[in-house]
DNA sequence: AGAGAATACATCGAAGTCGAGGTATTGCGG
DNA sequence: CCGCAATACCTCGACTTCGATGTATTCTCT
């Protein structure tokens, strides 16, 4: 997820680590903050894998910056990760939002629709949170207001997203015809 | 989150690891699966911390089971973790749902309402995903349908949850008066 | 002039998590 | 009776992540 976000933000324009961190914090930080000690090693991993290059520039304000630029290989890698997201990129909301944030970099509307359809399939799978044996329990069956809340919220979320997904998939399909 | 789920499920009744895994998988597994190699070490940690005890029972079907029971200290620890959730228990949806799933074990409605109010405060904080400098960008301002989707979905989710939270806090307040 | 915040990067050890693999038993279909 | 799925537990190494801490510079406020 972190690596995807780094590749995604750098796809548009070269940035230095500190700026990257601010953008990532805005994107997913209020839910799950990114520590600097996680970001810098991640940048190094990507550099080692030759997905990005760094150039030292005098800092505009303070210490010198390391301007990070994606290599051609790095650009291909982002498109690959967007076109073929892992299972958890689809199921985990944080990861999924990161995929969505950069999905426009996948230029083909058909490929974009394919990714949305995978999320759609996942959301359409019947899944509950609590079971009585094999039988999924519905919100109305709980005395517990908090468990009822979980199901209520999950249902509202999933309906909003399903509506958006269906609409967007349809418009990608007609747009590309 | 894992430890909270273990403590939560065992609070109701003693279970063995395999059964625990199935319940945790039902609760959060479709979003983020729990590997056995994560669960068993977690059980050992809790055992070492004397929050739970194990007793070997002949397996009903196959191998012998290790029946796990919370100690008095373990029960206190669950209540403590529910009453004083960490920042990320409040902000991270997976963790938050886990807190909600067991919040009924906090017997005092006032304490329950306090926890809900912390989530309420978090959701009421103004937070966007994308910024133009310091100015948060609204859904309508994007050409990108995917980023627009992120904001649309996040808004719907947050509104559904806010409504539920306000209603539930109110009923906890009147109920305890 | 000095304190403190912001910029900008980095290392280290501790901890948690995962995937792959291993052990052993029971029950069911072919 | 053989293989396979399900039950039930476990270990190992690789990797990621985090919190704490360190370095150095510049700007702002007092």
- Hey, where are the domains in chain A? 2-84, 108-175
The answer, for A126 touching chain B at a CB cutoff of 8 Å, is no
Q: What is the mean pLDDT of residues A110-118?
A: 96
* Position with higher pLDDT, A139 vs B156: B156
3-state helix, strand, coil in chain A (%, to 5): 65, 10, 25
**Per-residue model confidence (pLDDT) at position B176:** 65
User: Which of the residues in chain B have pLDDT under 70?
Assistant: 59, 133-134, 176-177
**Per-residue model confidence (pLDDT) at position A70:** 95
pLDDT tens, residue by residue, A152-169: 999 999 999 999 999 999
In this structure, the protein residues whose CB atom falls closer than 7 angstroms to any atom of nucleic acid strand D are A 1-2, 32-38, 41-42, 45, 61-63; B 16-19, 36-37, 40-41, 43-44, 59-66
By three-state DSSP, how is residue A139 classified? helix
**Between chains, do A32 and B125 touch, taking CB under 8 Å as contact?**
no
Does residue A40 surpass a pLDDT of 80? Answer: yes
**Per-residue model confidence (pLDDT) at position A138:** 82
Does residue A57 surpass a pLDDT of 90? Answer: no
The answer, for B25 touching chain A at a CB cutoff of 8 Å, is no
Return the number of other C-beta atoms located less than 10 Å from residue B63's C-beta: 8
Which residues 74-103 of B are in CB contact (within 8 Å) with A? 88, 91-93, 97, 100-101, 103
**Per-residue model confidence (pLDDT) at position B9:** 96
Residues 6+ apart with CB under 8 A from A83: A106, A111, A114, A115
CATH architecture of A2-84: Orthogonal Bundle (1.10)
Q: Does domain B2-83 match CATH 1.10.10.10?
A: yes
The answer, for A104 touching chain B at a CB cutoff of 8 Å, is yes
| First-to-last C-alpha distance (Å) of chain B | 32
**Per-residue model confidence (pLDDT) at position A46:** 96
Q: How confident is the model at residue A141 (pLDDT cuts 50, 70, 90)?
A: confident
Q: What is the mean pLDDT of residues A136-146?
A: 85
Does residue A72 surpass a pLDDT of 80? Answer: yes
Contacts of B145 in chain A (CB under 8 A): 104, 168, 171
**Per-residue model confidence (pLDDT) at position A59:** 66
């Amino acid at each position: 997820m972190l690596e995807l976000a780094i590749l995604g933000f750098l796809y548009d324009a070269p940035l230095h680590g500190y700026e990257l961190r601010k953008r990532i914090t805005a994107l997913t930080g209020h839910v799950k903050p990114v520590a600097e000690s996680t970001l810098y090693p991640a940048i190094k991993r990507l550099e080692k894998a030759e997905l990005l290059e760094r150039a030292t520039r005098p800092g505009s304000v303070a210490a010198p910056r390391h301007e990070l630029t994606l290599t051609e290989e790095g650009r291909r890698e982002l498109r690959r990760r967007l076109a073929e997201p892992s299972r958890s990129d689809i199921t985990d909301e944080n990861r999924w939002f990161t995929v969505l944030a950069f999905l426009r970099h996948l230029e083909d509307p058909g490929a974009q629709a394919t990714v949305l359809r995978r999320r759609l399939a996942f959301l359409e799978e019947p899944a509950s949170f609590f079971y009585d044996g094999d039988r999924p329990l519905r919100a109305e069956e709980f005395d517990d207001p908090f468990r009822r809340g979980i199901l209520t919220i999950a249902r509202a979320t999933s309906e909003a997203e399903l509506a958006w997904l269906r609409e967007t998939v349809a418009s990608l399909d007609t747009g590309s015809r």
